[in-house]
Chain A
Amino acid sequence: MNGVFAKPWSAVKRSPSFKEIVQALWKANPVSKQILGICSALAVTVQLQTAIVMGAALTLVVAFSNLIVSLLRAGIPRNIRIIVQVAVIATLVIIADEFLKAFMYDVSKQLSVFVGLIITNCIVLGRTEAYAMNNPPLRSFVDGLANGLGYASVLVGVAFLRELLGSGRLFGYAVVPEVLYQAGYVNNGLLVLAPGAFIMIGLFVWLEHSLLEKK
């Protein structure tokens, strides 16, 4: 019984899905390794909340567009496959946007055009074209989830540092104690601005590359 569900860790590590997940989350992270999706990563990382919602929206869009494209892949005519993929992605993005407007209006206002711009995010089309067109539905779905989470992980990391160091808050709540401000601590205003995001993402890219090189 146990043998079916709990494979030994080493076997899990050898399975192709696991390798692909690690690939997406770390070794070929869409943002910090492939430098994709930078535009939205710069724009929505001033606050943790927007970054998390954006990461979740993108993750869902990549996962489900991968799933749908993979299900359709045998029938899609080769000559219009990109159009079909973009149509699937665009539909999912607009549905996600409608849901945000209905249930998370404040966040949706802050994200403004960037939810809509998921349609043009290279990560999504990249995964459907390179992966979902050639792989079975379930694995495509997992690949989409992993890539979305890879994107979200960098966004959340950047947003955490930007909100903490830039405005002394996390999720909008003040976390830097008042005593520190009285002792002369000042929030770093640069991190709230776009250059701060560039620098942070640059540091993430550097960190990841240097950690990967050591292996």
Chain B
Amino acid sequence: MSGSLRSIAYAAVLCIICSLLLTAASSGLQPFQERNVLLDRRRNILAAAGLIQEERRLSAADIEALYTRHIRPLRVDPLGRVLPAAEGAGSALPFYLVVQEENRPEGYIVPIDAKGLWGPINAYLAFGSDGATVKGFTVYRHAETPGLGGEIEKKWFRDNWVGKKIVTRQGKFVSVGVAKGRVDEMVPPDKREHYVDGISGATLTGKYLAAGIRDTLNQYEPVAVKFRKNLAHELEGALAPR
């Protein structure tokens, strides 16, 4: 009996020491990690907008400079009206305008929250100034299985999205789906521009990702419509006092 009591006491003390160490490491390193996460998100936003080449390694300062020059974070209410920075925290939809010189919007980036198979998938989907054509796609956080669902962050899958349309030629919103297999084998020709190649062995990841993208884009339709109707300057007005 005393033997097992000793074991329990030993285990308890060990657990306390280990958890103290872990807490110290985690809270001590948190500021560094948060800075990395922020930088990584900005890098992903820039990559989705096609403003940085994947191969080149940029310093933190370069990323900051590109970000402040080309990216304008904005928030709109569900009807597409631009909100001042402090208002409407609950229902506000954050997104990013991509601008060239003189604040002219030439596209926008929507943050995607999707349910993955093992955990949330966070991504950015960039659109051109027509409000319909995908310009880029990047995943900055996921918990999918490497080699299967984890392929969503790979270049071949991301490149797959470029040029796809979220509206039909008649102007109906359809989002972009993930095909079960290759698009040119599985999808009829007239729908191919609304689908990307799927990942074999990761059907569910694709399904959840497509569903998350459809729901998110549905909410952002008011923004997309502004671009489709050439009213992007309405958003641009909000940019001036920066």
Task: Name A residues whose Cβ lies closer than 8 Å to a Cβ of B.
Answer: 43, 75-77, 79-80, 83-84, 87-88, 90-91, 94-95, 98-99, 101-103, 105-106, 109, 112-114, 172, 194
Contact = CB atoms under 8 A, between A and B. Distances in A.
A91 B22 contact: yes
A98 B14 contact: no
A99 B29 CA distance: 7
Interface in B8-50: 10-11, 14-15, 18, 21-22, 25-26, 29, 32-33, 36-37, 39-40
Chain A binding surface, main DSSP class: helix
Nearest to B15: A87
B146 interface: yes
B116 to A, nearest CB: 13
Given A102-B36, A105-B37, A172-B57, 12 more contacts: A77-B10, A80-B7, A80-B10, A83-B11, A84-B14, A91-B21, A91-B22, A94-B22, A99-B25, A103-B32, A105-B36, A106-B40
Interface residues of B, number: 24
Nearest to B55: A172
Contacts of B32: 102-103
Chain B binding surface, main DSSP class: helix
Contacts of A102: 29, 32-33, 36
A129 to B, nearest CB: 16
Given A98-B25, A112-B150, A105 B40 contact: yes
A79 B18 contact: no
14 contacts: A43-B146, A80-B7, A84-B10, A91-B18, A98-B29, A99-B25, A101-B29, A102-B29, A102-B36, A103-B32, A105-B33, A105-B37, A112-B150, A113-B146
B169 interface: no
Interface of B: 3-4, 6-7, 10-11, 14-15, 18, 21-22, 25-26, 29, 32-33, 36-37, 39-40, 57, 146-147, 150
Nearest to A112: B146
B37 to A, nearest CB: 8
Contacts of A84: 10-11, 14
Most B CB contacts (10 A, CB to CB) among A84, A101, A102, A109 go to A102
A8 to B, nearest CB: 43
B26 A77 contact: no
Nearest to A106: B40
A106 B47 CA distance: 15
Most B CB contacts (10 A, CB to CB) among A84, A91, A103 go to A91
Given A77-B3, A79-B7, A87 B25 contact: no
B205 to A, nearest CB: 15
Given A87-B15, A102-B33, A95 B10 contact: no
B201 to A, nearest CB: 12
A95 B36 contact: no
Given A43-B146, A91-B18, A95-B22, A80 B29 contact: no
Nearest to A109: B40
6 closest A-B pairs by CB: A102-B32, A105-B36, A102-B29, A77-B7, A91-B18, A95-B25
Contacts of A172: 57
Given A77-B3, A87-B14, A99-B29, A194 B22 contact: no
Nearest to A95: B25
Given A98-B33, A102-B32, A76 B10 contact: yes
Contacts of B3: 77, 79
A76 B150 CA distance: 40
A75 to B, nearest CB: 7
Given A79-B7, A87-B18, A94-B25, A101 B147 contact: no
Contacts of B14: 84, 87-88
B1 to A, nearest CB: 13
